[in-house]
Amino acid sequence: MSHFITYLALSQPASVTTEQVVAKYRRLYGEKFCPISSEMGDNRVGQAVVALFGNMPATVMFIDQPLPENAYDPALRADQLGLWPEAKQVLSTNQAHAIVALVGDPQDHAANLRGATVVALLAGALIELLPVTAVVGTGSLTITKPDDFKSTALAIAEGATPVSIWTNMQFFRGKPNARGEDTFGMASAGLLPFIGREVELAPVAATAYEVARRAAGVFQYLIVNGPVLKDGDTVGLTNEETIRARFKPEGQRARLPIIELTVEHLDTNAPPTTFAQRMANVLKGSAAARRARG
């Protein structure tokens, strides 16, 4: 099964046919991303849906039992910012669930990006067909309200990069720095399929917001472009800011390779920026640095 397994918690048992899914997908997205077909064969109500997205098959399985607690607990624990306080209660009342996944596991960045998009668009279409109460991303450790997920899926079809549903940030406290200031770090979840590693920001004397906005820009860049960040490269929100990338075999989680980002100079005057503006500064000087290293 795929990296991008997504659970749809349902208020009651329900299912749809492949033809219903194909029709809804086409109505929502048209041909904006990838044509969908039911060439794998139609199904009867209650059976698994299998559809083709180009040459990439994806499936939906319907389970007439509540989504097990251990399927969403990791995502609940990862929501350190309390983005959806009622999520636990909503999930505890689900009566059935659907599993959205690719058939097979993509082997390179381009296929993973395509696969993540297929699963997101498929889940977005299913939200209009099923009594979905919550959407749980397994690798990204995310829990999303159905309406928010559907809006995000529509944005994906228009070319947006959905950092909020494909990744998560887990913050941790570091040791006080030399001036006695509190420090905070961040560990990603969800980047592994796109770049073969997760990303961690080493503890720095900055607020969670300042940590998050630097990480989010890097996340988006790596999701779109793949494993382009090299050991020793630098990133930053401005020309004055320097954050160094170092490859490590593991970080906060054992046996999970990471790119550790260490702040060498933090620009405290960096203005709020859009993702596009941030990316103008990501990898600043990296090509020149690699040339200098030979």
The predicted-structure confidence for 54-77, as pLDDT tens digits, reads as follows: 889 999 999 999 999 999 999 999
The pLDDT confidence band at residue 282, using thresholds 50, 70 and 90, is very low
How much is the pLDDT for 121? 96
How much is the pLDDT for 199? 97
How much is the pLDDT for 253? 86
Mean pLDDT within 121-144: 97
The pLDDT confidence band at residue 202, using thresholds 50, 70 and 90, is very high
Three-class SS state of 170:
strand
How much is the pLDDT for 292? 45
Mean pLDDT within 20-38: 84
pLDDT at 168 over 60: yes
Question: pTM value?
Answer: 0.88
- For residues 75 and 253, the model is more confident at 75
- CA distance to 87, 115, 132, 145, 226, per residue, from 190 (Å): 20, 13, 23, 18, 13
Three-class SS state of 219:
helix
The CA-based angle 215-185-225, given to 5 degrees, is 25
Mean pLDDT within 125-129: 97
Beta strands in the chain (DSSP E): 6-10, 36-37, 49-53, 56-63, 96-102, 132-137, 142-144, 168-173, 184-189, 198-204, 234-235, 242-248, 258-265
Please, what is the angle between helix 109-127 and helix 146-157, to 10°?
Answer: 130
Here the tokens at position 251 are 């970080």
